[in-house]
Amino acid sequence: MTFESITMPATVWQWARSDHGLTVLSTILSIIALPVAIAAIIVGVRGIREARDLFKKLETTLNQLVTDIKENALRETLTVATSYAAFTRALQAVELDPMELPKDGAFALLTSFHFQKLLNPSYTPEQSSELQKLTRKSVDVTAHGYVEMLLKSGLGTMKDGIELNDPPR
C-alpha cells in the first residue's frame, strides 16, 4: 500500500461519515457512554433508596396520625359519656323548668357547647359565651320550625298552655 492509495477526506465531517470515522466515533462514544450509564444507575439506585426511606417515614407518620385521631376520638367520646352520667346524676337533685329543654335536649346542647370549645380553642370566654347564645337561639328557631312541620303534617298536636307564637328563648 502506498501513500497515494490513502485518500484523506476534505473535511472532518466527511471523515466522520467514512467507515473508519464511524468506527472511531463509535468507540469514543462507547467509552464515554459506559461511565455515564454507570453514573445514571448509581443516581437511580440512590433515588430509589431515598424514595423508599421517605415512604417509610410517611407510613410511620400516617400510622401515628391515625393512632392520635383514634385516641382523641375515644377521649372525647369518653368525655361525652362521662358527662352524660354526671348530668343524669345531677338531675336526681334538680327539677328542670318545663319550658326549657328536656334532659336529653339539655345534655345535647351542653355537648354542643363542649365541641364548640374544642373547635375554637382560641376563643375568649366572651366569644365562647356569644357562640353559645347563638347556638341556643339557633336550636330554638329550628325547634320552632319543627313544631310547625309536625303540626302541618298532622303528626302531632299542640300541648295545652303552649302558644306557637311564643318567641324563641
| Tens digits of residue pLDDT in 139-152 | 888 888 888 898 89
Q: For the whole model, what pTM was predicted?
A: 0.57
Highest mean pLDDT among 10-19, 37-46, 82-91, 160-169: 37-46
The answer to whether residues 40 and 55 belong to one domain is yes
> Is the confidence at residue 163, as pLDDT, over 80?
no
Cα torsion through 25, 28, 30, 33, rounded to 10: -120
Last residue of a domain, one of 69, 94, 119: 94
Report yes or no on 139 lying in a domain: yes
The answer to whether residues 101 and 145 belong to one domain is yes
Report yes or no on 5 lying in a domain: no
User: At a CB cut-off of 8 Å and minimum separation 6, what does 158 contact?
Assistant: 147, 151, 164
The answer to whether residues 82 and 141 belong to one domain is no
The answer to whether residues 105 and 152 belong to one domain is yes
Total domains in the fold of the chain: 2
Mapped to the 3 state alphabet, what secondary structure does the chain carry? CCHHHCCCCCCHHHHHHCHHHHHHHHHHHHHHHHHHHHHHHHHHHHHHHHHHHHHHHHHHHHHHHHHHHHHHHHHHHHHHHHHHHHHHHHHCCCCCCCCCCCHHHHHHHHHHHHHHHHHCCCCCHHHHHHHHHHHHHHHHHHHHHHHHHHHHHCCCCCCCCCCCCCCCC
> Is the confidence at residue 30, as pLDDT, over 60?
yes
Last residue of a domain, one of 94, 117, 139: 94
The answer to whether residues 115 and 64 belong to one domain is no
Last residue of a domain, one of 94, 112, 128: 94
Residue-level pLDDT at 16: 57
Length of the chain counted residue by residue: 169
The answer to whether residues 63 and 118 belong to one domain is no
The whole domain housing 168 covers: 97-169
The answer to whether residues 87 and 119 belong to one domain is no
Cα separation, 41 vs 46, whole angstroms: 8
